Structure 1
Amino acid sequence: MIGREEREAAVRRLQEAYAGGHVAHEEMDGLLHRVLTATTPGELAAALAALPPEGAATITAVGGRILRRGAWRVPRTLTVASALGAVRLDLSRAIIEHPVVDIELRLGTGRARITVPREAIVDLEGLAGWKEARYRPPRRTARAGPRIRISGSAALGRVRIRHAWR
């Protein structure tokens, strides 16, 4: 049996996915019907299975710049897609609540500059592109920080990752 709170949380999650562009208008009615008529937790989970995981966000731009800096909240999974513009992500003062953050880049001809916290551990194994990513790990850090896993592709762009000074 599904409680009222579980059903309302599922409806909220579905609405957020729709508002974020992860669910097409044509699919929304059917998914909402499945959520509202589900009688078991399995049926509810099946209705939400196609949604992106909780804590995921997508930033998209065709042309122009994508810029995030200051005290912004970094989601567990972040997808950044830019066809022509430059991407600038500054995580040095960001609020990072997760021990591991996955950033997927989908770059066309633009470039990306990512600044990570000084104590962060950076993993670039899933990143492919026209040019090799520019990254130099720090010699030593006082303590271990969050693990930032960067994946995806940069067709004709370049990716540069650096650690913050402080």
Structure 2
Amino acid sequence: MPIEPGVRVSDDDRDKTVQRLQQAFAAGLITPEEMDDRLELAFTARSHGDLAPAVADLPGEPVDEVVELNSTGGRVKRAGDWLVPRRLRITSEYGGAHLDLSQAVIEHSVIEIELQLAYGSATIILPPGATANADAVVTRWGSTTCKVPGRPSPGNPHVRVTGELGYGHVKIRYARKRFS
């Protein structure tokens, strides 16, 4: 369904445009000066007609793939310096997930994590300032605890957690402070 040029843009529309511009800049398709001009267009756009010129001459939007991590009985674990995909699906019958994003490389303003855990729990650790929403997580015999703000904060990553857990818990928190 085509988007009408006069329809107002959302923050998510602006974020997607900024991501496309960042990818184009990183690929050498636009100069730093063009990047500045196009970012100004993206941030000040009120309608899709205002937003379109910022990316009109760039290649089409890349396919947004889902990175899938599967386990039968072990825990899926990511920590340290790892690249967080925009969309991540974790599936495990008898294992859990431990995702530490506190030192990870996060290139997207919104990250989507889908959990499909039959008998496992998940812990998601966020970097300072990041936010998360886990309202779409369904637990049958468990709970969901989110100790970080739930609304997106400009300039910080936002994590949307969805999925289903049979007998597990989901915990979302910031990294604990270490004492020397």
Match of 1:128 in 2: 138
Asked if structure 2 preserves the Cα contact closer than 8 Å seen for 1:73 and 1:95, the reply is yes
CA distance in 1, matches of 2:147, 2:159: 14
CA distance in 1, matches of 2:71, 2:122: 13
Asked if structure 2 preserves the Cα contact closer than 8 Å seen for 1:119 and 1:143, the reply is no
CA distance in 2, matches of 1:102, 1:144: 17
Match of 1:149 in 2: 160
CA deviations on 1:32-51 (whole Å, 9 max, x unpaired) are xxxxxxxxxxxxxxxxxxxx
Match of 1:57 among 60, 67, 71: 67
How does 1:23-102 map onto structure 2 within 5 Å? Answer: 53-102=63-112
The letter of the residue matching 2:66 is A
Match of 2:148 among 137, 142, 154: 137
Asked if structure 1 preserves the Cα contact closer than 8 Å seen for 2:132 and 2:146, the reply is no
RMSD value, Cα? 2.1
In the alignment, structure 2 segments of 5+ residues that lack a partner are 1-62
Shift of 1:151: 0.4
Asked if structure 1 preserves the Cα contact closer than 8 Å seen for 2:75 and 2:96, the reply is yes
The letter of the residue matching 1:106 is Q
Match of 2:172 in 1: 161
CA deviations on 1:114-160 (whole Å, 9 max, x unpaired) are 1011111101121110222012226xxx9751010000011111111
Match of 2:118 in 1: 108
CA distance in 1, matches of 2:168, 2:155: 30
In the alignment, structure 1 segments of 5+ residues that lack a partner are 1-52
CA deviations on 1:38-79 (whole Å, 9 max, x unpaired) are xxxxxxxxxxxxxxx434200000111111001100001000
The letter of the residue matching 1:161 is I
Q: What's the secondary structure of 2:88's corresponding residue?
A: strand
Kindly tell me the number of residue pairs found equivalent between the two proteins: 112
CA distance in 2, matches of 1:125, 1:93: 25
Normalised to the residue count of structure 1, the TM-score between the two structures is 0.62
The percentage of aligned residue pairs carrying the same residue is: 35
